[in-house]
Structure 1
Amino acid sequence: MPLSRPALLLRPDSRAVQDARTWVRAACEELGRTELLDCAELGVSELVSNALFHGAAPVTIRMRGTVDHPRVEIRDASPEPPLLPVPLALDDEDEVLLTVGRGLSIVANVSEAWGADLDASGKTVWFTPTVEIADGDGVEGVITGPPGAPPRPERLGPETVQVSILGVPLALYRGFEHHFRELRREVRLLSLAHAEDYPLAASLSALFGTLERQLLDGLGHGQLSGVIGTASNGERETADLHVRMPRSAAETVRRFIDMLDLIDEFCRQERLLVLARSPEQVTFQRWFLGEYLAQASGGRPTRWSEAQMTGPIR
């Protein structure tokens, strides 16, 4: 079943490790994966300790992935790759910290797969707990997504189209950007860690990369202008988005719309530890992406307010 337990914000003291162990134990029990408890708690002890010593606040723990391969993630605000933790002076009440100082080799020995995903605002160190502690060096970690310049959009040639997306509700737009980033990261990590179990993840990850290159300006870096409404606090509620895109990107957008529906079906079948989109999210995203398709084919823009009144989104 999709995991309903929210992420936990950890306090910056020695009790954070105990809190994280309690949280991950409850998450495993909620999924019916109690056989993972020992390895999950050991891995969490190391990664939370590492984040507290070498990372930056805030530090959070959450679980993603699938029921068969639940992935524990520790997030902190430092973009530096994970380092080995240092030994701590312990007292009788902090026996939970006894694993600190043995380094990430412990994580490697309690994981099916593990690694770090870096971005400009921090890093997520993750692992998929295994049933039994491995002998030897364990599995090798994978570091992905080093911070740096975003992928450059494809050079626009004569076959370009001006796309005007009118009356964009900015709250839904920001939610779409967040959803896009989360899905992109999810399928990338599944394709890296469990490619044999999820062959579709590699195809989806490649599609995300293509879409990001072709529509970089439209999906997060376009120019917002022409404010339509203003909230009571002075912030924008809606705006117009004007983007130039290669006409050939329309087919990528069409595939992406189908992919979002497919991922929702995976969620409803409880094959991913995330929730399917709400009806409002589905309606907005189909309208937003549908504007690329319609205008690439010569159609005229349809404002969001008009699209809501005309029934099903094309």
Structure 2
Amino acid sequence: MTPPLAPAAPLFRDPVHDGAADPTLIRDRETGDWWMFYTARRANLATEGVGWVHGTDIGTATSADDGRTWTYRGIAQGLAHEPGRNTYWAPEILWHDGSYHMYVSYVPGVPTDWDADRHILHHTSRDLVNWRFESVLKLSSDRVIDACVWPLPDGSWRMWHKDEADGNRIHAADSADLFTWRPIGRALDDQAQEGPNVFRHQGSYWMVTDFWSGLLVYRSDDLTHWTRQDEPLLAGKGLRPGDDGDGHHAFALSQGEDDAYLFYFTHSAGGQRSCVQVAPLAVHEGRLRCDRDAAFGLRLRADRTPALRGGNQPS
């Protein structure tokens, strides 16, 4: 039986190129609607090499029913800082001190292979629609992607990202103001991975990362020392429509002590196309669990969202 308030499955497909990937969510502080920003891979095109994962825009969708269904709203405007067709991946968005901040991965041009410089760009916005370019961040190398930002207890900020120049390890950088960042070295050094996402739930900090065979899980009390969980999440296939393989590049949203959700993408079986899914998260005996096949209701609540994502945020 379908439970009340069950979300759509798949949760979202990009109606232009059918390649929605790398989702992140944030609540519009003016309207109360939820926004999804994602990498709009050009999955329905036949291109040379991996050209279809380059030349990508950041797509947007909104939900007026607390996250259960989503409407495509076009691409994010104002990201270009140099001419030509370029590549944008994996947005991270937060609210602080009267502005939204976006940290987005950037590759110049439309490469057909993986051998290209990559940087993380910083943009700001007042309304989630119109974005202003701020800077190219100076981080650990010129091969960095997949930013994730979370506040530190002292009021400063930490960014985690993938550094391809260091064997695809997760690195970190600190900032006092969200504009200037100081690299501090490896945050995780156990294996290659990407797409770090940090959140707080049930008294602990958690990080989930994409290791291309599901999601690795790490737990921390201080955002510096991380202990790896012995089993991954979302390895293999799920049973819902479109949940055809390993979960990739996820975004976790805690809704207080009881509820948390994991938004992720999966590839259609044997193809380039991909879609966004959502599943409930739970902590059991100190381990993070995600039952992608469970029947559940989804209602994202503005009054209980954590720092950065919606209601009670630092300002």
Range into which the TM-score falls when normalised by the shorter chain: under 0.3
Structure number having the greater helix percentage? 1
Query: Could you tell me the TM-score, scaled by structure 2's length?
Result: 0.27
